[in-house]
Structure 1
Amino acid sequence: MRSFVPSSASPDQPSLIQPVAAGLLAAIVGFASAFTIVLEGLAGAGATPAEAASGLLALSVGQGLLGIFLSLQTRQPISIAWSTPGAALLMGVGVPHGGFGVAVAAFLMTAVLIVLAGLWRPLGRAMAAIPLSLASAMLAGVLMELCLAPVHAMAQLPTLAAPILLAWALGWRFARRYAVPIAVAVTAVIVAAATPVPAGAWALAWPRAQFVAPVFDWLPAIGIAVPLFIVTMASQNVPGLAVLRSNGYKAPVGPLFVWTGFGSAVVALFGGQGLNLSAITAALCAGPEAGPDPTRRYLACVAAGAAYVVLGLGAGLAAAFIAASPPLLIQAVAGLALLGSLAGALTAALADERGRLAAVVTFVATASGITVMGIGAAFWGLAAGGLLLALERR
Structure 2
Amino acid sequence: MSQTTTTPHEGTPVVAGIVTAVVGSSSSFVVVLAGLTAVGASHAQAASGLLTLLVTQALGMLWLAIRHRTPITLAWSTPGAALLLSTGVVTGGWPAAVGAFLVSGLLIVVTGLVPALGALIARIPTSLARAMLAGVLLPICLEPVTGLADSPAYVGPVVLTWLVMHRISRRWAVPVSLAVALGVVIVSAGSSLAPGDLVPTLTWTTPHWTVAAVVSIAVPLYIVTMASQNVPGVAVTSSFGYQVPWRETMTVTGIGTLVGAPFGGHAINLAAITAAMTAGPMAGPDRSRRWIAAVSASVTYLVLALACGALTALVAAAPGDVMQAAAGLALLGTLAASLAGALADEDGREAAVVCFVIAASGVTILSVGAAFWALVAGLVLRPLLATRT
Query: TM-score normalised by the shorter chain: which range applies?
Result: over 0.9
Counterpart CA distance in 2 for 1:199 and 1:114 is: 38
Q: Which residue of structure 1 aligns with residue 59 of structure 2?
A: 65
Q: Secondary structure at the match of 2:75?
A: strand
1:391 aligns with 2:384: yes
1:227-273 per-position Cα deviation (integer Å, ceiling 9, x unaligned): 10110001100111001110111221111111110011011110011
Deviates more, 1:178-187 or 1:129-138: 178-187
Q: Which residue of structure 1 aligns with residue 196 of structure 2?
A: 203
Matches within 5 A, 1:136-215: 136-195=130-189, 197-198=191-192, 202-215=195-208
Q: Which of residues 265, 271, 279 is equivalent to 1:278?
A: 271
Matches within 5 A, 1:335-354: 335-354=328-347
1:268 aligns with 2:258: no
Q: Which of residues 123, 132, 141 is equivalent to 1:129?
A: 123
Matches within 5 A, 1:306-325: 306-325=299-318
Q: So what's the TM-score if we normalise by structure 2?
A: 0.95
Letter in 1 for 2:361: S
Q: Secondary structure at the match of 1:81?
A: strand
Q: Which of residues 89, 95, 99 is equivalent to 1:101?
A: 95
Deviation at 1:391, TM superposition (A): 2.7
Q: Which of residues 274, 285, 298 is equivalent to 1:292?
A: 285
Counterpart CA distance in 2 for 1:11 and 1:120 is: 47
Q: Which residue of structure 1 aligns with residue 26 of structure 2?
A: 32
For structure 1, which runs of at least 5 residues remain unmatched after alignment? Answer: 1-9
Contact 1:133/1:350, CA 8 A, preserved across alignment = yes
Contact 1:53/1:204, CA 8 A, preserved across alignment = no
Deviation at 1:17, TM superposition (A): 7.2
1:65-88 per-position Cα deviation (integer Å, ceiling 9, x unaligned): 110111001110010100111111
Contact 1:137/1:349, CA 8 A, preserved across alignment = yes
Say if 1:220 and 1:327 are closer, same or farther in 2 by CA, change over 3 A. farther
Contact 1:20/1:303, CA 8 A, preserved across alignment = yes
1:112 aligns with 2:134: no
Counterpart CA distance in 2 for 1:109 and 1:212 is: 15
Q: Which residue of structure 1 aligns with residue 357 of structure 2?
A: 364
Contact 1:77/1:285, CA 8 A, preserved across alignment = yes
1:98-142 per-position Cα deviation (integer Å, ceiling 9, x unaligned): 111111111111111111111111110011110000000000000
Letter in 1 for 2:230: N
1:128-176 per-position Cα deviation (integer Å, ceiling 9, x unaligned): 1100000000000000000000011111101111111101100111111
1:80 aligns with 2:74: yes
Deviation at 1:22, TM superposition (A): 0.2
1:302-336 per-position Cα deviation (integer Å, ceiling 9, x unaligned): 00000001101110011011111026211100000
Say if 1:196 and 1:258 are closer, same or farther in 2 by CA, change over 3 A. closer
For structure 2, which runs of at least 5 residues remain unmatched after alignment? Answer: none
Structure 1 segments (4+ residues) deviating >6 Å: none
Letter in 2 for 1:70: L
Counterpart CA distance in 1 for 2:331 and 2:208 is: 30
Letter in 1 for 2:199: W
Q: Secondary structure at the match of 1:130?
A: coil
Counterpart CA distance in 2 for 1:186 and 1:288 is: 30
Deviation at 1:221, TM superposition (A): 2.3
Contact 1:264/1:273, CA 8 A, preserved across alignment = yes
Contact 1:197/1:324, CA 8 A, preserved across alignment = no
1:21-42 per-position Cα deviation (integer Å, ceiling 9, x unaligned): 0000000011111111110010
Q: Secondary structure at the match of 2:359?
A: helix
Counterpart CA distance in 2 for 1:163 and 1:104 is: 36
Q: Which of residues 348, 373, 376 is equivalent to 1:380?
A: 373
Deviation at 1:297, TM superposition (A): 0.5
